[in-house]
């Protein structure tokens, strides 16, 4: 019996609970049930709100603890899998742990059992795109790649099909990392800035959780740190294996960097190789240059320069993140539906060097739009507003000291169909149109993905 088979055999003698039936846990619960393991599903939602998932799991033999008391008496179980977003130091979990309950997660067990090399990425920004680029580069080199973690797919349910020559590429959040006691073969920290302090309480705990990505690595590992981000760069003393850094400001001793002529290069202790010019990268923005530098450092020596160039020239970005949709009559269309706040919009607008046609507006999260008003006036030439926040956005933009009606035209529409039609009418050759809502989507769509897909379909039908 191998390690994976032993694990499932051992679980047959345990009472196992799963907290939450989200993306990470549902497939795993089904696998456990099919293996004959006794599983109880604990979820705040009732059976009706769980819908088809409840029926499926009940049919497979799951027990349930639902509603407000779903976390009561966790000490009844031997093993509890927490949902990725559930805080490890939650008092209920701490109490159960003190009573001898094994508190774990899908990712922790995956790291223990995974037979292949693991590449893992964390950071306050850029981790999804960097993870996706690394996975794409390894696929181009001929690897079978399993991509998951915080990026939306559980990998433990696939553990039996993974072999030692494959590659696992995972994105990890601070909530996942806080309890990890095993680090990946290749670790990437894109940057560290204040985030999730409402849960972690202190910046120190947030940084400590990120440290778990690298402090359990061995001497045969690779660590990639952002040289330009002080907090990340300061972690170099913890590195046990081969340290690489990436930078858009300086030349690291070993790692990828941006030279003064705009070329992405790799320095291998004085042996410098040029790879590609930043203007040839299909996804715009200096933050995406950083994402590529991080990814290149992670796979250098395993992926050819030709594969890196091909990926950079053709990869259109992660869906809904300044994603290139199409070019029609010389007009480029982008989907940035994930820009559900003014700060996300600013990152999107600053990714382009020319003035844009922007579609914005949506559900009111009661956040102010003034922080983006000046940049909208500087970076946008035509603004198409929709949704319940249209008035608020228009007020913030027109009250900016930089507002000039001669330089910024504002249009009002009542639906996405109208917005795309209006953008098509007013765009000329050389223009860029982007959906950058600055708002959540809940007034018209269940989530930002559904909004982005609807927008893309409308653009493709033009």
- The model's pLDDT over 117-173, given as tens digits with 9 standing for 90+, comes to 999 999 877 888 999 999 999 999 999 999 998 776 889 999 999 999 999 999 998
| 40 touches 77 (CB < 8 A) | yes
Quote the pTM value. 0.80
Taking a C-beta distance cutoff of 8 angstroms, is the pair 349, 376 a contact?
yes
Confidence of residue 175 (pLDDT cuts 50, 70, 90): confident
Pairing of strands 409-412, 380-385: parallel
Per-residue pLDDT band for 199 (boundaries 50, 70, 90) equals: low
pLDDT higher at 120 or 203? 120
CA distance 324 to 259: 26
pLDDT exceeds cutoff 70 at 196? no
> At CA 352, angle to CA 412 and CA 290, rounded to 5?
135
Lowest mean pLDDT among 52-66, 84-98, 303-317, 326-340: 84-98
Instruction: Give the contacts of 55 (CB within 8 A, at least 6 positions apart).
Output: none
Burial class of residue 423 (count of CB atoms within 10 Å of its CB; 0-12, 13-18, 19+): buried
pLDDT of residue 84: 78
**Residues 9-19: what's their mean pLDDT?**
95
Average pLDDT on 272-301 reads: 95
The model's confidence at residue 24, banded by pLDDT at 50, 70 and 90, is low
Q: Which residue has the higher pLDDT, 345 or 19?
A: 19
Q: How far apart are the first and last CA of the chain?
A: 57
Contacts of 242 (CB under 8 A, 6+ apart): 221, 222, 223, 254
Per the listing, tokens 């033009």 go with 462
Q: Which of 326, 322, 312 is nearest to 279 (CA)?
A: 312
Q: What structural domains and CATH numbers belong to the chain?
A: 3-104 (3.40.50.720), 108-314 (3.40.1190.10), 323-461 (3.90.190.20)
């Amino acid at each position: 019996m191998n390690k994976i088979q032993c694990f499932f055999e051992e679980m047959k003698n345990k009472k196992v609970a799963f907290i939450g039936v989200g993306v990470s846990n549902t497939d795993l619960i089904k696998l456990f049930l099919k293996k004959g393991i006794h599983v109880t599903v604990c979820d705040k939602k009732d059976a009706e709100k769980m819908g088809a998932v409840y029926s499926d799991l009940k049919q497979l033999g799951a027990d349930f603890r639902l509603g407000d008391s779903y976390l009561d008496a966790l000490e009844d179980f031997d093993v509890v899998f927490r949902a990725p977003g559930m805080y490890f130091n939650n008092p209920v979990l701490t109490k159960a742990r003190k009573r001898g309950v094994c508190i774990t997660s899908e990712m922790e067990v995956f790291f223990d059992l995974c037979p292949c090399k693991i590449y893992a990425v964390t950071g306050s920004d850029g981790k999804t795109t960097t993870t996706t680029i690394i996975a794409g580069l390894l696929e181009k080199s001929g690897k079978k790649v399993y991509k998951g973690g915080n990026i939306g797919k559980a990998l433990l349910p696939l553990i039996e099909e993974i072999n030692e020559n494959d590659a696992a590429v995972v994105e990890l959040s601070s909530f996942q990392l806080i309890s990890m006691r095993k680090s990946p073969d290749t670790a990437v920290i894109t940057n560290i800035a204040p985030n999730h302090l409402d849960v972690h309480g202190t910046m120190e705990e947030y940084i400590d959780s990120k440290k778990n990505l690298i402090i359990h690595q061995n001497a045969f590992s690779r660590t990639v740190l952002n040289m330009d981000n002080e907090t990340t760069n300061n972690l170099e003393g913890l590195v046990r294996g081969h340290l690489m850094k990436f930078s858009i400001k300086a030349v690291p001793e070993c790692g990828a960097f941006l030279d003064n002529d705009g070329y992405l290069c790799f320095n291998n202790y004085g042996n410098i190789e040029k790879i590609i010019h930043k203007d040839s990268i299909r996804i715009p923005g200096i933050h995406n240059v950083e994402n590529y530098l991080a990814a290149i450092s992670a796979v250098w020596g395993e992926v050819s320069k030709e594969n890196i160039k091909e990926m950079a020239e053709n990869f259109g970005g992660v869906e809904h993140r300044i994603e290139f949709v199409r070019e029609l009559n010389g007009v480029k269309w982008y989907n940035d539906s994930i820009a559900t706040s003014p700060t996300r919009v600013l990152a999107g607008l600053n990714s382009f060097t020319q003035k844009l046609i922007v579609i914005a507006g949506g559900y009111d999260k009661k956040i102010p739009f003034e922080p983006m008003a000046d940049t909208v006036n500087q970076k946008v030439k035509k603004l198409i507003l929709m949704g319940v926040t249209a008035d608020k956005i228009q007020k913030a933009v027109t009250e900016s000291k930089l507002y000039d009606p001669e330089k910024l035209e504002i249009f009002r529409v009542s639906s996405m169909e109208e917005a795309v039609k209006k953008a098509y009418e007013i765009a000329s050759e050389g223009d860029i149109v982007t959906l950058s809502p600055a708002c959540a989507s809940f007034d018209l769509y269940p989530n930002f993905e559904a909004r982005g897909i609807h927008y893309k379909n409308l653009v493709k039908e033009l």
